[in-house]
Each structure stands twice: as C-alpha cells, then as structure tokens.
Chains A and B, each alone.
Chain A
Amino acid sequence: MKTALVVLALLLTVFALVVGGAYLWSTAPDEAPWTARSPEALGELEAGIEDLSRRYFRDAILHFERALELDSEMPAARFFLAQIYSELPNQREDYLEALRDTDPQRMNERERMLREYLLAVADGRRAEGGEVVAAYLANQPDDPWALDLQCSSAWLARDWNEAEACYRRLLKLDPNWVDAQGRLGYIAMARGRFDEAEELFRTYAYIAPDQAAPHAAVGQLVTVLGRYEEAQQAIDRALEIKGDFCEAHHYQVSLLVLQNQLEQAMAALGEMEQIPACSIYEQFGVFCGTRSWLHYLMGDVAAAEAEMDATCLDARGGWDASYHRVSAMTGDTQRAAELLAKARQGLEGKDDDPEARTYFLEAIVLHMEGVQKAADGDWATACELFRAADQDVQYWMISRAGFKLRNRQDLLTCLKQQGRVEEAEALVQEITAINPEYLGSPTVTDLIELAGVEIP
C-alpha cells in the first residue's frame, strides 16, 4: 500500500508538472521584442517606435539617437533610423554600416531578420530581402513587425490586392496597429474607395485621437474630394495636436493652393519653413520648389525662376516637374528639355524591380512630355501623354491626388482643344465625381489659356 501511495503521488506530481508546464508554455510571453542593454535604452527605443507610428519622424529620430547613446550597438535603433533615412542615402549608409558591424548573436531572431532584410534591400537585393522576411514569417506568422515589412513591400510595389490583404491580416493580429489603418486608408484612396478610406482614417483618428497623423490623413482625403472646409478643420485639428507636424503644414499649403489662396499658401509655406522638424523638406528642396511654383501661379515668372536656382534644383535632384512646366510655358525649351532628360534618367534600370519602379515618376515624366508637346502645339500627342500619365497615378496621398487632378485638367484642356467633346464630357464627370470643386476655379490656367478653351 505504501508503494501504491508513492506511485500515486509520483503520477500526480508528473501529471501536475506536465499540465503546469504546458500551461506555462502556452501562456509564456514571447521573447523580448528588442534587445537592449538597459531598460532606459529600451524605453527610448519604444518611444521612438511610438513616434514613428505617429509619423513624428523628427521626434522618432531623437529618441532613436538617444537610445543609441545609451546602447551604442542597439540594432533596432539602427534599423529604424536607416528606415527613416531611406530617402537620404548618406545618412542611411552610416546606420547600415553600423548594422553590418553589429554582432548577429547579440540580436534576437526578429532583429536578425530585420538586419538581413535591410542590408539586402540596401544592396539592391529586394527579392532576397523579401525572401528573408517570408522565411521568418513562416516560423513566426504572428510577428507584426515582419508582417508590416511584407505589407510595405506590397505597398511599395503598388500591389494593392496583396497590400490590402496583408494589412488586413496585420489588423487581425493587432486591430490597433494604426499604421495599417492608415495604409489601408491610402489603399482605399488609391482604389477610389473614398468612403472606405474616410472610414479607415476616421477609425485611425478614433484609435489615436491624440495623434496628428490621422487628422492630417483625413484632411488630405477630404481635400482631394473637394471638401475644403472639412479639410481645413482636420488640418487645424492636426496642427492643434502637434504644431510642428510637417505633413499637416504640407497639406495646409496644398489645400490653400487648391483653393487659389496663393498668398495664404505662400505664408503657410513660410511658417512651415520655420519649423525645425520640417528641415528635412529643405534637404529635398521642397520649400524652394514650392515657392517657385507659387510665384509662377501668381504670375511672377521671374520670381519663380529666381527661386529655382541651382541650389534648389540640385536639392530637387536636378529636375523639377513644376519648373519644367514653367520652362515649357515660358518658351525656355532648352531648359525644359534638360529638365525632362534629367527626369528620364531617374527611370533608368528600374523597370524590373516592382518596388524600385516608381510609377509616379513615370507619370510625372509623361506629364512633363505632355506639357512639352502642348507647349509645342502638338495637342494630339499631348492628350495621349496626359492620358498615359493619368493611368499610372491613383488618388492617394495629396501629392499624387493633386498631380492626378492637375493632369486630368490638362487632359481635359487638351481634349477640348482637339474638339473631342464626348471624351471631354466624360472626363469632366470623372473629375467632378471625385472633386466637384476642382474645375470650378482651376489653379493652373496656363494650358487653358494656351489652348484657348473654357473649363467648366
């Protein structure tokens, strides 16, 4: 009997251990999301990630840099900084280099994956980078960071189906992943599902009411849709939350331009220029370029040309579509041709890489060519070029939406000039269906005047 008691006790103990172990295993928290040498460094990293999700890039950079001060080898901070500086190769290279030097053994599995991905992409091996992410997701299907990368690839490749499915899957994992909310909203915008986009942005704003980004997103959406009052309210709300939110200032300028409030737009641009957080725009020549364009719109070609000096042009990458228009419409064909050629150079070698391929750039080039043709009097070809540019651009993000509207306006002008009344009518319907206000007071009238037509 004593033996039986001992056996029973052993059985019970084993059973309890098994059950307890299974329970602990099933409920065991995941390994630490990020490696850090100190809790303070981790805190800075997480704060930076939070800022990143809010699109407070400047703040994010500061936090990530602070994290690196506390932990000089923190791989995650390096990764995120590299991501932020993805458009600034010089700065990004420093972080990439540091990532290359970081001991992979110090990283957790996720960080190793991110490092591998980023280095592959930086080396032009996007496909390989994608495979790295896919392999990681096969083992960790519920890792939101890896999934976000995968979704971003689809997003960059403009594979809206894949991107939408991916972001929806991400939202299932974490319904409050606001970046996914925003991206889905933009995807909806791109696909012309503006109501859905508004819902997504408003949901985004509901989840993160203290963030400026969702309000700004709403603002740019309703700007595209011609609901300028709502847009102003949304932008005001965004700036109320974060006064130095550059995107909101940017949208403000765009909104004012669309409303033909060019002086106010200039003033708003001036305000934005004063904001230190928006200095990155300076690096890309956004201020000078926009100022130049505004001067042109206000009829001051000399000021426009003076603004677009060599420095600004250089910051703009050697060319600028608006400046090309100015050149083409003012008869400076040589400058226009140079600018067009420069633009075309940016398209070289990227046809085979879906993520690298910039459809927008292609559309811009086509549009520039169309403007050139129109300026040359070849309205027929201009129409074709404008139509081709229209097909590759969706109404997503105010920059692209604004471009598409302007391109369509130019197409409309062209069609009218060609006497293609039915096509023009149809195009008018399409434009007013999106933005009923746009054709009412067009901001850019140079082609209209050149064509000698009237735009309803």
Chain B
Amino acid sequence: MSLRPHITTLLLIFGLLAFGIAGLSIADMFVPRPYDGVVLRQAATSEIVVSEVLPDSSAERAGVLPGDEIRGIGRQALAHPRDAAEVLEDYRIGQRVPYLIKRPGEKVFEIEVELSRRSLGDGTYFYISFLGFAFFFIGFFVLVRQPGLVASQVFFFMACLFLLLLVCRLRPLSYSGIDTAILSVGTGALLFLPSAFLHFFLIFPRPVWLRAMASEGRWRPLTWLFLGGGWPLVYILPPLVLATARLFARKTEGSWLTDAPLTSWWLLATFVGLGFAGLVANARRIQSSRERRGMVLVLLGSVFGLTPFALASVVLPNQASTMFFVLGVVPLVLVPITFTYAIVRFQLLDIRVILRRSLLYTVTTALVTSLYAGGIAMFNAFFRDSALARGGYFPIVLALAIVVLFDPVRRRVQNLIDRSFFAERSRLQDALKELTEAMTAQSDLQAVVRDLAERLPQILDIRFCGLYMVRHGQLERLAGPAELPPRLAALPELQRFLARRRGLHRLDQLGSLPLRSPKVAQLVETLVDAGVESLADLASRRRQIGLALFSPRQGQAPLEPEEQELLERLLDQASIALETGLLLEERTQQAELEREMEIAASIQARLLPDRLQVAPGWQVAAQCRPARIVGGDFFTQLPAMGHDGGGAVVYGDVAGKSVSGALMMMAAHEALHTLSMAMDGSDPARLFDLANRRVYQLGKRNFVAMAYLSVGDEQGLLRYMVAGQPPPLLRRASGTVEELPMVGHRLPVGAFRHGGYQVSEVRLEPGDIVLGYSDGVTEARSSDGDFFGEDRLLDVVATAVHADPEELVREVSLAVEAFSDSNTLYDDVTLVAVARTASSMSSARDPDAADRAHRATGSDLGRNTSASRSSKQESRSTGSTGSAGRIE
C-alpha cells in the first residue's frame, strides 16, 4: 500500500486547518474593537506612557496628551501596555471609560474617554496576510498538480507553515480569547519551518545530489534522513533544540507557546542557510538547462527574500516595528514571485501552466492604465496649485503625452511578457511561418508529405501528424505511425463538414455529425483509439486531397488564434503543394500515357495500307479518322476472293473506343489477314465466318462491324458482304443514290459463335460509285446535338460533284467535319469509296495518270497533327491512297 496518497490527504487536511486558523486570525484582526486612539509604550522605569495620540481620536477629544502616564483604565491599574488592551476588551464601542492620568508636574486626575471603533489589522498586516496566502495558494496549486511528488508535498507543507507564521505570528496582539491560541499556532509553525525549508531545498525539484551521495556511499546519515524515511526526525530536531535551550537557559521569561525565543529565529536562519547550500548542490547536478535556470531563479528569490527576513528576525526582535516590516517582511514577496515565475517559465516540478496570452495582455493593459492613472493622480496631488497645472494647455499636452506614450509602453511590456512567458510560442509561430513559406515553393509530393509528417510534429510538439490521401475512393495512409489505420473510408459527409469549416478540428468537436452518421462515429472512434486528437481537411478548389491527423499537444497550451490561423494557412499551402504534386504526378503519368498512345497510334496507322490496289477499271479511296488517339476503325486490303486479278477492301468498326478499341482492331485486322492468307482465295463468307469464330473467342462484347468490298471483274461486278456496318450507298452515274441490298445475316463479326455470312453482288457501270461508311459518319453530332444522319449522307453523296472516290470521301469527310463544327467526334469515322471508271484500258495505257488521279488526300501516316495534348480526341485522320489502274 503506498503511503503517498495518505500523505497527500493528510497534507490537505493540514492545509485546510491552516487556512482556517489563518482566516480566524485575520478575522480577529479586522473585527472592529473598542479603541481609545492611544499608543502606549512602557518606559524604562516601567511607567506606561502615551507615546502617541491619534488625531481625531477619542483620547484626543478627551484631552489625553503624549507624555501622559496612564495609571489606570476602566478602574484597573496597569502594569503593562497589554493590560490596557485586555481591559478595553471588556467594553463596547461607544462606552465611556475612566482613565487615571498622571501628567508631568501635575497631580493624578481622572478623565473619561468614549471608545471609538478600530480594527487592529492595518496595511502592514494586510500585506503580510497577502504574502501568507500567496504562499499557501502556490503550494496548493503545486500539490494539486503533482500530488505524488515528494517535493511538491514538502513544498505545500512549507507553504502552510509560512502562512501560519506570517498570519498568526507577525500580528499585533489582540488580547482576544483566541489571541493566545493563534500566537501559539504561529510559534508552532516557526518550530517546524526550518526543517521544512531544509527538506524542500534538498529535494527540489529532485533529490539529485542526495541520490548521487547515496550511490557513492557518502553522507549516509543525511541520505538516510531524506531518502531512507528518516525525515520525521528532521522535523523533531528544532523543537528539541528549542526545548533544550529553554531548559538550560538561566532565565527564561514568557510563555512557552506564545513567545518565540531568539533560538527559534537562529534555527530558522541556520536551516535556511543549509537549505540554500542543498539547493546549489542539486542545481549543479541537474542536467536539464531549463530546470537549472529555474532553480537558479528560485535560489536568488529565496536568498533575497528569506535572508533579510531571517536576519531581521534575529537582529530586530521587535517584530511589530516598522523597520522589521520594511527590512524583513517586504522582501519576502520575492519568494512567491520567483517560485511562480520559475514554475510557469521553466516548468519546474514538471508542472506546465497554461497561460492565456490574451489574459496577460489584458492584465498588462490594465496595469499600464492604472500606472498612468496613478501617475496623473500623483501629479495632481503634487502640482495641484502650481503654475504648470493651472496652465490652459497643460491638460492637452498631458493628454497627448499619454496617448503618444501609452501604446509604446504597453507594447514594450507585452513584448517583455512575450519574451518571458511566450518565447516558445514565438518560436512556434516563426516555425509555422517558415514551414508555410517552404511549402509555397514545394511541388515535390514526397517532400510535402515529409514536411507534414516529420517537421510539423516537431514544431507543434506533438507525437505525430498522420497524412492520408484520397486514392481510389478511399483515404490511404501516406505517413504516420503504424497504429493509424492504413486505410480510412472517405466519408462525404465528413468531408463536407470539414470543407465548410477551415482549419483544425478536434474529434470531440464535430458537432452532431457523429450522431447523424454512424460511419463518422465509427471513424472517430477508430481515430481516437489510435491516439488522434484533431484532424484537418486537405483540399483544393477542385477536390479533396486528403486528411491530416494530429495527436494531442501534451501539456501544452491550446493554440492561440494567431497560431490557429498560421496552421490553417500552412495546411492550405500544404493542400496547394499536395495538389501541385499530384497534378505533376498525374501529368507525368498522362504524358507517358500519351506517349504510349502515340506510339500505339503510330503502330495502328501503319497497319492501314498506304495504297489500295484494286483491279484496273476501278478506283478506290478510303479514309479512317479515329475519334481518339487510337481508334477502333480500320480498313485494309485483302486479296480479292473470287475475283481474279481483283482486290478487296475490308473496313471495320470495333465495338469500343480508345485503347480497347485499338487492340480489338488490331486483333481483327490480323485475324483477317492471317485467315485470308491461309484460305488461299476461297469464299469471303468463309473468311468472315472464321474471323467471327476467332473474334468470338476473345470474349463477350468484343465484336467488329465489318464490310467487304471486292472488285476485279471487267463486267463491273462488285461483290460485297456487310457484317454490322451500315449498308453501303450506291450512287449511279445518273446521280441517284441507293443503298446496296442487304442479306439477312449482317451481324457484326464475333457477336455470335456462328457466322452465316453471305456475299452479295452488284453490277456497277462506269461512273457508279459505292460508298461504304462506318456508323461514326451518321452518328457524328453537331454542337446542337443533332446527328449527321443518313439523310444528310445521302444528300452529300448525291450532290457530290465527281464520281471520284477520293473526292467523294473528301467531300463526305468535310461535310461531317463541317457538321460537327470541329466538335469532338463521338466515334471513329471510316469511309471507303469504290468507283468504276470509264475505261479500264485508258487507265492501263497511262498508269502514272491513274496514280495522279487517285492519289488520296490525307495526311501521311505518322504525322501527328494533334492540336492539344489535353484533348482526348485527336483531330488527326488517316487516309489511304488508292491507286487505280494497277493490277497486282
């Protein structure tokens, strides 16, 4: 069973008793008493003589004069001045009391004095009481803050003894019924105070020197006394010494209990001196410079405060004298001041005091104001009738001087307070500002995280700062101790709450949010368990970036408003820095992605043939314009199956866009080519069936809309097969436009397991042109949301000027481009045009002419004409050339 709690309880009971007795003493002093206004002294020849008659007092009114000998008061002869007070105690205020006076040169005579009211306590006693209670409350505060610390227990005990000594011992005699008891208590306190001093200073703030001596085996009796449990003997020593002195003194006068003999004061002086030596010994062994500074301050305050008191007690036994008060008691105020400052400033005894700067500033302002008011009052008092004060301009000058000087003085005092009490706060604020500025130049995500996770906790003197960032719809921990969850749910309600209120939020100050949202409540509970005290939202204008979590500031004052604001600015800056870092990362990734896409587009473009070669007498042109960097549309040339010497063009439209579409496109493209090479010119329907089977194997939702156009027959036969593409349009030379007839099975390749594709034929006359297109043409949208549609396509085809496939492809492409008004293409656009020329012979006689005529427009493969990296839709288009007249 530990003794400490019991000792603390006992001490508190003792303190309560001391407080009560001191209060009783003060009440005794300030209770109005019957008073005559006479100050008595005992002459060398034992007469009781009036040394002073207070002005306007009862005695003055009755005719008592200084120098009169008081023979009797109230029909009682006097032997001692205290007899006077005792006699007056039996009278009431207002009663008339007979006095027997002997005036020099006259005979004794009687007068009556009407007693007036008076309290024994005066300003001096008030000051003494104030000191006593200051000691007491400081000791009480220390004990409450550190009840288990031996040094704080001894300090409280010492403070109580000081209270009793000052309030109960250094007081005028009241001769009331409790006067003797109170004086006895004060004397008793004096008996034990020396030991308390010595004890305290040897163990304050820790018994470092004693422990060192104990470990070295030196000063064994002393170490046993204060560390080994023998401390009660120390407290018995002074009473024993005093009793011995009393017993062996040749002549002792006075009561054992109410009179404090000189021995007591000598003991006090001696023990205090030893205590100082102990404090110095401790201070020299303390490692912490902060504590050492505090101890030095305490030592200085005690030396300059206690030494005059001890010396005056020995040298000036008359403790009621003004000289004793001025020389011995007034300096005592240094002790509580230095103790308080040392505890607050240097956190001695591990006590951290939270000081409100605003409160101190208010007090400072009030003090400065009071000083000014006091100065004005004093000036008025001293110079009231002077010419200076009567001057008309003087009040104005004085007011101006006050106005001019008030604020500088106030600021200087506040600066002093800042340097004395809030130096660490200044450092905190400077560090926050510095970190904030560093953040503004920071774009490295890791550096920002490092600053937040490592530097900020050091600045704020907290254990950790955990950092979470939004990733994949969750909050992932980037920094912080392991006890923080690796992931947290990104709760929109919490984020909205935090976004509305800037800055740091304590977990216990989220309002009703935890009540309204069980998820938030659970999150809060999780964070609390992990040691989080507060959190802050990290967000930019566009999005939430993450959360910053903070552990508590142990023993530190809450952040001041300025510091809160600095921290909010820091977090804002951190959010910006994080956003910048994220954007940089994203951009870097996107740039890489774009690069990859460009490479893919390049590869894809290479898959498209540069030239389309079909049979003589035929012209072909094709164009493929992806909606994005890479697309799902394609066209390619295959051997004309069933047409000797002809050629076939297949154009396709993969389901899906962008990378997936491109990959599918390449798969379909390769499947067609591989199968066509393996089939050795057999049935194109069979080709499509096989391609279908292959594409189907790639998985559901992977299908390709394709169309097959084959020419090579001099009879002008066009064989075609459509699988999912819109029906090609046939424009006759007469200008009519019609769709080619379709067969029943036109499903895209890969949509179903089995094919069943059929080849159709149509005879074309010279000047006829067939246009195949992907649905990207008709599904192109204007800025108003209208579709290009088949009607417009028919119109364009119908109104095309030439029957030149390239021209037709170009006109349709331009029409679509004009319609969409450079708007983002929703789907890839592919156009293939096959036309029968007038004569295949003429083409054969001039192959170059055919080349020139059928050179397709379009940009070369590989040229990247993208307007902007940030645009998801490249405006690049590929074209193909087709050459007519050359039969491969």
Could you tell me which A residues sit within 8 Å of B by CB distance?
A: 1-2, 4-5, 8, 11, 15, 19, 22-23, 26-27, 171-172, 175-176, 181, 195, 198-199, 202-203, 206-209
Contact = CB atoms under 8 A, between A and B. Distances in A.
B102 A175 contact: no
Given A23-B184, A202-B107, 20 more contacts: A1-B3, A2-B1, A4-B229, A8-B232, A22-B257, A26-B256, A26-B257, A171-B77, A175-B76, A175-B77, A175-B78, A176-B76, A181-B77, A195-B107, A198-B107, A198-B108, A199-B102, A202-B100, A207-B76, A207-B77
A237 to B, nearest CB: 13
A172 B256 contact: no
Interface of B: 1-3, 6, 71-72, 75-79, 83, 98, 100, 102, 107-108, 110, 180, 184, 188, 229, 232, 236, 255-257
A349 B78 CA distance: 44
Contact of A11 (B79, B232, B257): B232
Contacts of B180: 27
Contacts of A195: 107
Those 3 A-B pairs whose CB atoms lie nearest each other, nearest first: A175-B77, A206-B100, A175-B79
B184 A206 contact: no
A207 B108 contact: no
B547 to A, nearest CB: 49
A27 B177 CA distance: 13
Contacts of B102: 199
A446 to B, nearest CB: 38
6 contacts: A15-B236, A23-B184, A203-B100, A206-B72, A207-B75, A207-B77
Contact of B77 (A2, A5, A26, A176): A176
A203 B107 contact: no
Interface of chain B: mostly helix, strand, loop or mixed: mixed
Interface centre among B6, B76, B77, B102 (most CB of A within 10 A): B77
B79 A171 contact: yes
Contact of B71 (A5, A8, A22, A206): A206
A247 B232 CA distance: 69
B79 A209 contact: no
B77 A203 contact: yes
B188 A199 contact: no
A5 B107 contact: no
Nearest to A11: B232
A26 B78 contact: no
Contacts of A22: 256-257
A199 B257 CA distance: 38
A151 B782 CA distance: 142
A2 to B, nearest CB: 6
Contact of A1 (B1, B110, B184): B1
A175 B87 CA distance: 13
A172 B257 CA distance: 22
Contacts of B98: 206
Given A5-B6, A175-B76, A176-B77, A202 B83 contact: no
A157 B150 CA distance: 72
Nearest to B80: A175
A26 B252 CA distance: 14
A176 B86 CA distance: 14
A298 to B, nearest CB: 37
A217 B826 CA distance: 142
A198 B108 CA distance: 9
Contacts of B79: 171-172, 175
Nearest to B3: A1
Nearest to B233: A11
Contacts of B108: 198-199, 202-203, 206
A176 B255 CA distance: 22
Contacts of A27: 180
A23 B256 CA distance: 8
A270 to B, nearest CB: 35
Nearest to A176: B77
A208 B353 CA distance: 67
B168 to A, nearest CB: 15
B72 A23 contact: no
Nearest to A195: B107
A2 B257 CA distance: 33
A231 B386 CA distance: 65
B505 to A, nearest CB: 46
Contacts of A171: 77, 79
A202 B100 CA distance: 9
Contacts of B184: 23
A26 B255 contact: yes
Contacts of B236: 15
A348 to B, nearest CB: 43
B644 to A, nearest CB: 116
Nearest to B256: A26
